[in-house]
């Protein structure tokens, strides 16, 4: 009897130990899966944040890869990439920004995603009656622009006004400068400015509070938005997979939804 009791006790102890070991292995396996989930860090121009977020969601659904964005204007993004020496990809506001990053040895070959078309943005109803770039010089017109030293849109606006030989007159009407297009949208929507230069898609996406005036092609400076893998990335294959997805028909439909024109 004593032997049978001892045998039962030993078997019970073995069973309990086995259960704990099994639970531990299961927990360890779950933790390993969470840890092993891949992540892409992408530096992204603030002006295209909405479509890129949509593309990230679809990419994660398809490949199980988490996409983490950091948003700013292109000049700030390039500085971040240069200082941190971390990250996988960048989506910048123009080819010129890509060339700046390339000269600093930060990026690999680029692919072009969409056209970025500058327009004149005005509050709903266009209370100041802005019809052309020259109207930015009219007395009393309140102008808000991107910062000409740090903002790609600010630099672009400066070139547009130089092209018309009106930059100095426009400066007299500038009430504020900002670093991102999203700030410009907010200021114009709140009627704190009569006119601004911003991307067409941003103006269209805020169409409830903003009207836009097209700039004639011969006066305009249309840009393209590039994407490129960073030299700092440790997973170039995954970077290329994301680039291919960003160029796919599925991604193009997302860009179109947000009023951007994909490059064929």
Is 188:147 a contact under the CB 8 Å cutoff?
Answer: no
Q: Quote the tokens at residue 106.
A: 């930060």
178 is in an annotated binding site: no
74 is in an annotated binding site: yes
Supply φ then ψ for residue 208, to 5 degrees.
-70, -25
Strand, coil or helix: what is 177?
Answer: strand
Name the β-bridge partners of 91: 44, 227
Distance CA(134)–CA(164), nearest Å, equals 8
Count of Cβ atoms closer than 10 Å to residue 74 Cβ: 28
What one-character DSSP code corresponds to residue 136? G
Name the β-bridge partners of 123: 210
- Torsional sign, CA 76, 82, 88, 89: positive
Is 100:90 a contact under the CB 8 Å cutoff?
Answer: no
Element at 107 (helix H, strand E): strand 107-116
Strand, coil or helix: what is 229?
Answer: strand
Binding positions for molybdate are 74, 181
Binding positions are 74, 181
């Amino acid at each position: 009897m004593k032997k049978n009791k001892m045998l039962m006790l030993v078997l019970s102890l073995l069973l309990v130990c086995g259960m704990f070991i099994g639970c531990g292995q299961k927990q360890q396996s779950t933790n390993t899966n969470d840890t092993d989930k891949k992540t892409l860090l992408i530096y992204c121009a603030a002006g295209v944040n909405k479509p890129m977020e949509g593309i990230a969601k679809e990419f994660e659904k398809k490949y199980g890869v988490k996409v983490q964005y950091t948003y700013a204007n292109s000049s700030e993004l390039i500085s971040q990439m240069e200082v941190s020496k971390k990250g996988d990809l960048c989506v910048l506001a123009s080819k010129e920004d890509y060339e700046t990053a390339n000269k600093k040895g930060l990026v690999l070959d680029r692919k072009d995603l969409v056209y970025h078309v500058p327009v004149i943005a005005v509050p709903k109803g266009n209370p100041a009656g802005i019809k052309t770039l020259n109207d930015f010089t009219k007395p009393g017109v309140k102008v808000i622009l991107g910062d000409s030293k740090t903002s790609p849109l600010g630099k672009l606006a400066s070139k547009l006004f130089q092209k018309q030989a009106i930059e100095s007159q426009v400066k007299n009407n500038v009430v504020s400068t900002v670093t991102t297009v999203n700030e410009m949208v907010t200021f114009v929507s709140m009627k704190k400015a009569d006119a601004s230069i911003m991307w067409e898609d941003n103006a269209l996406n805020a169409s409830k509070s903003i009207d836009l005036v097209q700039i004639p092609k011969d006066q305009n400076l249309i840009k393209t938005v590039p994407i490129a893998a960073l030299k700092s990335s440790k997973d170039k294959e995954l970077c290329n997979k994301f680039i291919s997805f960003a160029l796919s028909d599925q991604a193009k439909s997302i860009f179109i939804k947000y009023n951007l024109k994909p490059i064929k």
